Chains A and B, each alone.
Chain A
């Protein structure tokens, strides 16, 4: 609790400051992804020919990645429950499972993209692929940021420090999961 202003400890809205801030972050992220995905949907609906391009995304890899993220979200919420009960050790353990899920997701994506790039589907080959890499890339950046923060929170958690942060990173991580829940049908199923 060193160096924290009294301002941070107040809670006139009924919600702890950190959690309130995370929700505001989520709102601003909703409009970022919303703008990008809205633009994609506009183009996609108007370009029938993109169906031909979209057929080349690998639905099974996409589905596997969805499974990975869903599972890592499960780990994150279980970590939150452990943190609430004051069990820093268990929270730490579960957060590392969450981390592992994020890393798996990124590795699978790296492999998937290298296959696609070698097949000639690059960022600039067609506007469908431009959106594909931009949207999934922006999402992957958020996954990367998330796993870094998860690692930091996990390291404090094992010493039973800053346990409230487990919930905070959890909420962010679930949001990242929700974005993928929409990206998956948009990029992989709608063919």
Chain B
């Protein structure tokens, strides 16, 4: 197995980086790919077409 890893060492290194970010995303609730039903920050979402209602938040 050591020889196999040595042969594919670049692949193993990149895979470890990918898996590392996967773990980071798991622990921080990050979606690696966003879509219409999965999104990260919608604060500047301009798609809203409804009227504006104002609430008071403490």
Q: Please say whether chains A and B are actual partners in one complex.
A: no
